[in-house]
Structure 1
Amino acid sequence: MAEYTTRSGRVRGRTAARDDRIVAVLGIPYAAPPFGANRFGEPRPARPWDGVRDGAAFGPVAPQSAELPGAPVWSPGDEDILTLNIWTPGTEGDGLPVLVWIHGGAYVFGSSAQPDFDGTALAGSGVVVVTLNYRLGFEGFGHVPAGEDEAPCPDNRGLLDQIAALEWVRDNIAAFGGAPGNVTVAGQSSGATSVACLMAMDRARGLFRRAIVHSAVNACASVAEAARTTAEVAAAAGVPATRTGLLSVSPQLLVAAGDRVVDRYRRDPRSGQRHYDPAVYGPVADGDILPLDPLTASAAGLTRAVDLLVCHTTEEYWLLDAVGSSAKIATEKQLASFARDFGLPDALVEGYRVRMPDASVRGLHLAIHTDLLFGEYSSRLADSHADAGGTVFMSRFARRRGGQGQRVRAWHCADIPFAFGNLDEESVHFLTGGVPGRDDHELSRRMLGAWAGFAAHGDPGWPRFAAPSRAVRIWRTAGEEDAAPGGGFRELWSEAGLPLLAP
C-alpha cells in the first residue's frame, strides 16, 4: 500500500493485481456531488476529509440506464459521482507524463470503471494514467432554460466536470509522480469529441499540452437545437421545460424520460436524422463555455497550440448495427431516405456504390454512415488542425478477425483495448473476437507504445500528418495486408461537403 497527500486530504492506494510495480488509487473525489443545491450547476470543489481515504474501489457511476459488461451500474441515491482514478508507476517528484482518459458512451452511458479502461498496462510504460467520471445525459448535457426569476444554469456541464478533473490533476498529480506540465487528455467516441471541445474552450487552456482523439463523433448542437431536446424530455417527464420543472424530476425519472424520447425516434422512420441513431444529448455550441464547434475552432487556428493524435476505425458503424442501436437500412428506398435526411447528394452514394460493387444496400449504408459520423469527421479534424499550423499525427485501425467471413470487423471501440493493453479482459472479447493471439498482443504493444510515446514527448513513432504526404499509420496485425485501410472515399466527401450533425 502507498499513501499520497492531495489538497482535500490523504488517500491510500493498493498495488495493482496485474503488475506489482503499479499502484492504483481509485474513487478520489475531484468535485462535490452535483446534486441537491448543486444540481444543474457548475462543479464545485470536493469536500475535504479527515484521516486517510481508502482508494480501493471505483466511485459511483453517473445516472444512466445502461448495464455494461464487467462494470458497475448506477443506483438511485448514488450522488458522489465526480471521482477519478490513478494508476502510477512513480512517486512524488518523478515528473512522469500524465494521460487523462475521458470515456465515451454517446454522452449517456459508460464510466471509468469499465474493465477495458484499467490503466495498469499503460502505466507500466512509464505514464501516470488518470480516468474519470463526469455527468452524463440531461444532468451533464441537457439545456436548462431559465424562467422568470430563475438563475441560469450553464450548458455543457459534463465538459465543465472534465475541466474540474483536469484542474485537480494540475493541482495534485505531482504527489503521484506525475508532471502537471506534461498532460495529455485522451478519449474515444463521445469522449473524443469531448476532448476536441476542450481544445476549443478558454476554460481548459493550459491544462493539457497534447490530445488523443479516437473516433470523434460528428455532432454538436446549437442552443436552439438543445432547447428543442429539452422540451421533448420535459414533456416526456410531464413537467414544464423550466429550471424549476426539471429540478422537480429525480435523476432516475429524467433518465427514463430521455430513454422514452430516444425510443420514439427509433420507432418513427419519418423523424429525420435522429431516427437512424438517436443520440439526443451532446455538447452545445453556446458561444460562451463552448464558443464554437470543434471543427470550426480547429479551422480557425484556435486549437493549434495542442499537439493532436487522431485515430478512427475503418468500419466504425458496423458495431452500432451489430448491437441494434441503429436503424436497419436494407432497401434502396430506405437508403435514399437516409441520404435525403442527412442532405447527402446522389453522387456521393453512387460513388460508394462504384467503389463497393459487391456490397449490399446494408453494407453501403454502414460504410457511408461510418464516414459521415466518424471517419471523414476525424480526417477533417486532422486536416484543419494541420492546415492551421498545428502538429497532427493520424492513424486508422483496420484489424479484423475471422478471415473472409469478417466475424469481427475493425469496428467502433475495437481499438481501445489494444491501446490500453487490456486484450485479456473477457468483457472486451465481443469487440476483439475472443481470446487474443500472439499477433494481437504484438499489435497492442505497438499501439500502447504509440500512446505512451506521444504522451511522453509528442512522438507516437511515425511522421506527422502534414503536406504533401499526409502520412497515416494503419494499425493491423501481421498477415492482414488485405484489410481495407479506409480513407479511400475522401474525394467523394470533398465534393459533397460534410454536414455538421446536431444531437
Structure 2
Amino acid sequence: MHILMTSLRGGKRLSLSAAVVAALLTAPSAFADNAPQIKIGSETLAGVSSPGLAKFMGVRYAQAPTGELRWKPPVPAPAEPGTVDATKPGAGCPQGKSPWGTPSSDEDCLFLNITVPHDDAGMKFWQRKPVMVFFHGGGFTGGSGDVYDADALARENNVIVVTVNYRLGALGFFAHPALDAEDHVIANYGLLDQQQSLRWVRDNIAAFGGNPDNVTIFGESAGAIAVYTHIVSPMAAGLFQKAIIESGATADETLQTAEDQGKTLAQKVGCPEDASPAAAECLRKAPVDTLISAEATPIATIIDGKLLTGPIADSLKAGEYNRVPVINGTNHDEGNLIAGFMFDLSGAPLAAKDYDKALQGIASFIPRVGFTDAAIPAVAKTYALSKYKVPGLAAAQVITDGVIACPAYETNRIMAKYSPTFEYEMADTDARSVVAPPISFPYRAGHFSELQYLFDLSSITLKGTPDMTDAQRALGKQMRAYWANFARSGNPNGKGVPTWPQFEQAQAGPVQSLNKPQSHSVSNFAAEHQCAFWRKVERK
C-alpha cells in the first residue's frame, strides 16, 4: 500500500509507504512540547513561547522574489502542508553594512514576525485583538523586522505586533525603462511587499486572535515615508485603519528621475539602458552583491502612477487619501544623529569653512523637503555658526527643523482638517545613543532614539551602552501604552497616562512632549523649531 503526497513548492509527487508515513507521524517532534501552534489552511506554524507570549518568526508572506520574480510585484506564498518551523527569523533582504541590520545577499527574504500576547485561553479568532504592523527604517537600504523585539509592547498592552522584511535598495526601489515597459506595477517593489504583508495579515491574523478590521501600520524614518505613501496610495485602501508616522517626510520623486538613476545603475553593472527585453534579462541576471555595491537609492518613494499616483503632499492637501486617524511625530534633536553620520562618522567633524557646502548637501538630502540653493544664504544667517558650540550642531539644527520637524508639523496642520490627528515630540534629551559611538556633540533626542522606548533593540545596541534609567523605563512603558491605545481606539489616551490633546487645525496644535518625569502638551513647538521661517523657504 502506498500513499501519494504532493509538494506544493516543487510540484513533485512523492510515493511514501504506509510504514514510512506511520514512522513520520510517530517520530519525536522537533519542537518543544509547549510550542505554540497555529493552523492556517493546510499549514501549521510552530513557534516559541515565553511568559504571556507566543512568537512566530520567519513566516513567509510571499514567494522568494528571485529569477523572473526579481523586480516584479510579490506573489503570495503557497501553503506548506504539515508543520512549518517558525522559531527563528528569516533572512534579511539584500543590503550592505549599516547600523540598522546585518549584511545579506539572500533575495529569499519576504518574511514577517508575529508577537502575540496570550494566556491559558490560547489564541482564538474571537479575541479580536488590535494588530500593529511595523515597517522598519534604514534609508530604504538597510534593516530587517526581527531587529525590533516587540515583547513588551505586546505583553503590556494586549496587542499583536507584526514586523516585516521588505525589498531594499536597488532590488526594492528601482525603475528602468526595460522593467517599466513590462505589464505589472513598477518601481516601488518594497512598498508592494509591505502591502502584500498587509494582505497576509488581513487574511490570516484572526487565527492568532487578531482583528483583521483593526490594523495599525507604523514606521520610522524610511518606514515612516512608506506609511505616508500607503496613506495616499489607492492600492492600500482598506488594508489598515490607523497609522503612526515616526520621523518621516512626504518624500517622493518622479518616475523619470528614478529611471535616470536606474539607467546609471544599469551602466555600472554592464547592462543596457534601453527598454528592450534583453536589458531586463541582463538586470535580472546581475549578481546581488554587484547591484548592492552599485546602488544609489534616494530616501524617497517613486511616483509610479498606480501605487503612488502623484506627490504625497499634493494628495494630502487635496484630502485625497485614506482618511484614517494618524499619530505623526518627531524627536527633539532629529538632526544630531544624522549630522553625526554625515560628518564625524564619515571622516571628521564639520569645519566652519565647509558650512555652506554642508548646507548644499542637506538641501538635497531628502526629496520634496529639501530647499533650493537660493535659500542657503537665509538658512546660514538664521542658523549662524556663532549660535552653536560647534559647526556640526548648526547643521544638525537645520536638519531637525527644516527637514523633519517643521515639515511634519505643517503636514499635521493639513491632515487635521480631514482626520483625527495627534502630534508628539520625543523630548528626552538624555536618550541613549544605541547605534552610534560618541562624536563632537551630544546626540540628545536624535533620529531613531524613540524606538528604544517602544522596542527592545538589544540585537543592534553597541556594547558598552548604559542601561536605561528607571525614569526612562517608565517613559518607555508610557509611550508603549500611548501607541497601543491608539491602535485599539484611534486615540492615544487611556487609563494611567497623561492626557494627550488632539492636534487641532484651528490652533495648529498642541504637541505632546514625551518626556520624563511626565509627558505633557506644549504650544511652543513651531516657535522652538522656527517653523515660521521654514514656511517661507522655497522647497525643492
Q: Same fold (TM over 0.5)?
A: yes
Secondary structure of 2:404 counterpart: helix
| Residue 133, structure 1, aligned to residue 170, structure 2 | no
- Deviation, structure 1 residue 485: 7.8
With 150-159 and 305-314 compared, the bigger mean Cα shift is at 150-159
CA deviation profile, 1:316-359 (whole Å, cap 9, x unmatched): 121123335669642255326625764125334322339x8344
Secondary structure of 2:163 counterpart: strand
| Distance in 2 separating the partners of 1:8 and 1:323 | 48
Taking structure 2 as the reference length, what is the TM-score of the superposition?
A: 0.80
- Deviation, structure 1 residue 447: 0.6
- Deviation, structure 1 residue 55: 0.8
CA deviation profile, 1:179-208 (whole Å, cap 9, x unmatched): 000000000000000011011111110011
Per the alignment, residue 132 of structure 2 pairs with 99
Q: Name the aligned partner's letter for residue 422 of structure 2.
A: F
Give the counterpart of 2:241 among 204, 209, 228.
209
| Residue 386, structure 1, aligned to residue 416, structure 2 | yes
Q: Name the aligned partner's letter for residue 335 of structure 1.
A: D
Aligned-pair identity in percent equals: 28
| Residue 43, structure 1, aligned to residue 96, structure 2 | no
**Count of aligned residue pairs for this structure pair:** 465
CA deviation profile, 1:346-389 (whole Å, cap 9, x unmatched): 334322339x83444322211112233322222222122113x2
Q: Name the aligned partner's letter for residue 356 of structure 2.
A: L
Per the alignment, residue 478 of structure 1 pairs with 517
Secondary structure of 1:284 counterpart: strand
| Distance in 2 separating the partners of 1:212 and 1:33 | 29
With 44-53 and 285-294 compared, the bigger mean Cα shift is at 285-294
Per the alignment, residue 495 of structure 1 pairs with 536
- Deviation, structure 1 residue 66: 2.0
With 364-373 and 433-442 compared, the bigger mean Cα shift is at 364-373
| Distance in 2 separating the partners of 1:419 and 1:147 | 39
Give the counterpart of 1:249 among 286, 311, 315.
286
| Higher RCO structure (Cα 8 Å, ≥6 apart) | 1
Taking structure 1 as the reference length, what is the TM-score of the superposition?
A: 0.85
| Distance in 2 separating the partners of 1:480 and 1:449 | 13
Stretches of structure 2 that go unaligned for 5 or more consecutive residues are: 1-34, 274-278, 365-370, 433-439, 494-499
- Deviation, structure 1 residue 148: 11
Per the alignment, residue 400 of structure 2 pairs with 370
Stretches of structure 1 that go unaligned for 5 or more consecutive residues are: 263-278
Q: Name the aligned partner's letter for residue 108 of structure 2.
A: D
- Deviation, structure 1 residue 415: 0.3
| Distance in 2 separating the partners of 1:107 and 1:173 | 26
User: In the TM superposition, what are the counterparts of 1:135-150 in structure 2 within 5 Å?
Assistant: 135-146=167-178
Per the alignment, residue 85 of structure 1 pairs with 113
| Residue 428, structure 1, aligned to residue 446, structure 2 | no
CA deviation profile, 1:259-287 (whole Å, cap 9, x unmatched): xxx5xxxxxxxxxxxxxxxx536310122
- Deviation, structure 1 residue 396: 0.6
Larger Rg: 1 or 2?
A: 2
- Assess, with a 3 A threshold, how the Cα gap between structure 1 residues 206 and 153 changes in structure 2: closer, same or farther: closer
Secondary structure of 2:323 counterpart: coil
Q: Name the aligned partner's letter for residue 149 of structure 2.
A: D
Secondary structure of 2:428 counterpart: coil
Q: Name the aligned partner's letter for residue 418 of structure 1.
A: Y
Secondary structure of 1:113 counterpart: helix
- Assess, with a 3 A threshold, how the Cα gap between structure 1 residues 147 and 154 changes in structure 2: closer, same or farther: closer
Per the alignment, residue 276 of structure 1 pairs with none
Q: Name the aligned partner's letter for residue 468 of structure 1.
A: Q
Give the counterpart of 1:15 among 33, 36, 49.
49
Contact 2:338 2:396 in 1 (8 A): no
Q: Name the aligned partner's letter for residue 410 of structure 1.
A: A
Contact 1:395 1:475 in 2 (8 A): yes
CA deviation profile, 1:406-461 (whole Å, cap 9, x unmatched): 744110111011023x27x374368x962111111011011111101100111112
Per the alignment, residue 429 of structure 2 pairs with 400
| Residue 156, structure 1, aligned to residue 188, structure 2 | yes
